[in-house]
Amino acid sequence: MENSVGAVPSSKLGEATSKAADALSIGSKRVQSMGKQGLDTITDMTSQARDVALNAGDSIVAYTKKNPVKALTIAATAGALLYAAIKALAPDSSGSR
């Protein structure tokens, strides 16, 4: 092939193409690795949250068995407060407040 002004030799073009392909491959591998790390982190956090929830549930059951009257009082109070909050925030169906 004859070189003219502004023309890129085919060997240089092939070299640039090869370098670009290598860079894309490396970038792709990095993105895959980062995605896997992110997924692993989410999986670990989910597992930890599940363990905390199970432990909290066990603690609540143990407390309720140990202090049934106090647990019932706490539950009733929480229910009454929740009902009052919903009642206060819900729009009045009659149109007047």
Q: Which carries the bigger pLDDT value, residue 92 or residue 20?
A: 20
pLDDT at residue number 18: 87
Q: Which carries the bigger pLDDT value, residue 65 or residue 3?
A: 65
State yes or no: pLDDT of 1 exceeds 60. Answer: no
pLDDT at residue number 6: 59
* Angle between helix 10-66 and helix 68-89 axes, rounded to 10 deg: 120
State yes or no: pLDDT of 9 exceeds 60. Answer: yes
pLDDT band at 7 (very low <50, low <70, confident <90, very high): low
State yes or no: pLDDT of 91 exceeds 90. Answer: no
Mean pLDDT of the chain: 87
Give me the residue spans of the domains in the chain: 10-89
Say which residue the tokens 């149109």 belong to: 95
pTM: 0.46
State how far the Cα of 87 lies from the Cα of 97, in Å rounded to an integer.
Answer: 12
State how far the Cα of 67 lies from the Cα of 59, in Å rounded to an integer.
Answer: 12
State yes or no: pLDDT of 97 exceeds 60. Answer: no
